[in-house]
Amino acid sequence: MNDLYSIAYNPDVLSCLANLSNDEVFTPPDIVNQMLDMLPQELFKDKNTKFLDPATKSGVFLREIAKRLLEGLEDKIPDLQERIDHIFHNQLYGIAVTEMTSLLSRRSLYCTKYPNSKYSISLFDNVVGNIRYKRINHNWINKKCSICGASKDSYERSTDLENYAYEFIHTSQIEEINKMKFDVIIGNPPYQLGDGGGKGSSAVPIYQLFVEQSMKLKPKYLTMIIPARWFSGGKGLDSFRNQMLNDKRLRTIVDYFDPKEVFPGIDLSGGVCYFLWNRDNPGICSIDNYIMNRKVSMVREISHSDNHPFIRFNEAVSIINKIKIKNEPKFIDIVSSRRPYGLDPKLVLDKSGPLKVYSYPEDGYTSINNVKQNADLIKKYKVFITKAYGERGAFPYMVTGKPFIGFPDEICTETYLSIGSYDSQNMAENVISYMKTKLFRFLVLQQKNTQNAAKGVYAFVPMVDFSKPWSDEELINRYQLTNTEVDFINTLVKSIE
């Protein structure tokens, strides 16, 4: 076996691919092996175990599984070539995401792009072996694919170009892809596709479709590495989040807030995670948080509902529980939804007028006739804060933009959220003092996994008395936070000057 791998196995090649910044995210071999370590290792000693990678790109998952099977089956199938042939023909299967990745995956696994050639370490009677690629068409309805949400303008292409209609999620008869039962489905699916919105920059998530489709095959074990933004739901992810977090078969989540700890060359807002779903052994979930190269583990319930949102960080659980005990009203109840004043997003602002409008890229003015909702707030004091605020790099973060006062006769577009209504400037300033505390923004961070900071990110924030200003010292005493809890908050959140 050592002779085989000295010829066929070069771990640096796929590690280099994993560092590339590309739409197709390649998984580093060390992460693959961490995912494989979550599985019962007896699987690699059973010659009947079948594995499927439904979104193979570099072939690294199948290759690392092959290494474990070659070792695990040595006693059962002593002859090396016989063992290789059995494993590659009967236990390892892949569905490539593109024609190029099918060739790359076969090269990684069979040591040749064409496993019916003399160069293949296990000879097949066809050119694909057990790694297939089939070009599929999108199902266009109103210029979008009804299955994956891709934009027709972007992805309807000639046959000589990839159209990214992934076979695994574009078939209603998933059992027909491979007429067999898989014990393990594992992989790193594509993450998103452009949906034609936002002047071409908008994208719809698709990784959840691979997870859901995998579950339909009812494997014993399912593990995938995917973006972590599903923790807080959002575009196309609310139902997926609720399904996952309320599924007792989800037994392990390994969460990296900084995606560069997994994918050094990828900018993936919200972090990345991998999980283990165990069909036959439901129970509570083990969560491993990796923050700044530090691991914190906890076994806990993870169910999600509007009244009990999912808590991402293990070290935040005790803090949030102390706040919940007080059973105070919720700050989210005074936070506006999108388009606080109902202004048409296509409205052209004037250079002057009775109402000042805070907007992006520049402020302007308009008349009261354009206000479609919350007109009763116009003559009040309000607090405005940006609906999006992005940060990169290491903690601590600001988490939110700086809140500011909306004076009477001032409103805002959907660039901002409008918070509360007050009879005096002093009360609005007290609200801002609360919003600038580290604890306030720490609680926001528990629901804010991307730059989007819409109403839902305030779910954990309690309401307080705004007749007075607030400081972190007062809040620490109010909720009886320990020094350890305060240190954790300070690690993640920095002061607003």
Q: What is the pLDDT of residues 321-352, one digit of tens each?
A: 999 999 999 999 999 999 999 999 999 999 99
Residue 21 has pLDDT above 50, yes or no: no
The percent of residues in the chain predicted with pLDDT above 90, rounded, is: 78
The answer, as to whether pTM is greater than 0.75, is: yes
Query: Structural domain boundaries of the chain?
Result: 2-310, 322-492
pLDDT at 197: 62
Does residue 3 register a pLDDT over 70?
no
pLDDT at 470 over 80: yes
Tell me the per-residue pLDDT of 127-153, one tens digit each, with 9 for 90 and over: 999 999 999 999 999 999 999 999 999
Q: What residues contact residue 55 under an 8 Å CB cut-off, 6+ apart?
A: 95, 97, 166, 168, 187, 188, 189, 190, 210
The single residue listed with the structure tokens 């474990």 is 68
Q: Give the pLDDT score at 176.
A: 65
For 143-188, where are the alpha helices, taking DSSP H only?
152-155
pLDDT, residue 201, reads 54
Which pLDDT value is given to residue 449?
84
User: What integer pLDDT is reported at residue 157 of this predicted model?
Assistant: 84
Residue 414: closest CA among 453, 447, 445, 377: 453
Helix residue ranges per DSSP H, 9-157: 11-18, 29-37, 60-72, 80-90, 99-110, 152-155
* CATH level 3 topology of 2-310: Rossmann fold (3.40.50)
What pLDDT, on the 0 to 100 scale, is given for residue 162? 84
Q: Encode pLDDT of 409-423 as tens digits.
A: 999 999 999 999 999
322-492 shares the fold of 2-310 = no
Most confident of 31-35, 147-151, 236-240: 31-35
Beta-bridged to residue 284, according to DSSP, are none
pLDDT at 234: 80
pLDDT band at 180 (very low <50, low <70, confident <90, very high): confident
Average pLDDT over residues 284-304: 93
pLDDT in the model for residue 20: 40
475 contacts: CB under 8 Å, gap ≥ 6: 437, 439, 440, 481
Report whether pLDDT(462) > 60.
Answer: yes
CB-count burial class (<10 Å; 0-12, 13-18, 19+) for 57: buried
Name the CATH topology of 322-492: Adenine-n6-DNA-methyltransferase TaqI; Chain A, domain 2 (3.90.220)
Q: What's residue 196's pLDDT?
A: 66
What does pLDDT average to over the chain?
A: 91
Q: How confident is the model at residue 89 (pLDDT cuts 50, 70, 90)?
A: very high
With beta carbons less than 8 A apart as the criterion, state whether 351 and 406 touch: no
Mean pLDDT score, 231-244: 89
Among the listed residues 154, 166, 234, the one whose alpha carbon sits nearest the alpha carbon of residue 194: 154
Q: Which of 136, 160, 140 is nearest to 151 (CA)?
A: 140
Position 198 scores a pLDDT of 54
Q: Does pLDDT of 217 surpass 50?
A: yes
Q: Look at residue 230 and tell me whether its pLDDT is greater than 50.
A: yes
What is the model's pLDDT at position 292? 84
Q: Which residue has the tokens 């009244």?
A: 307
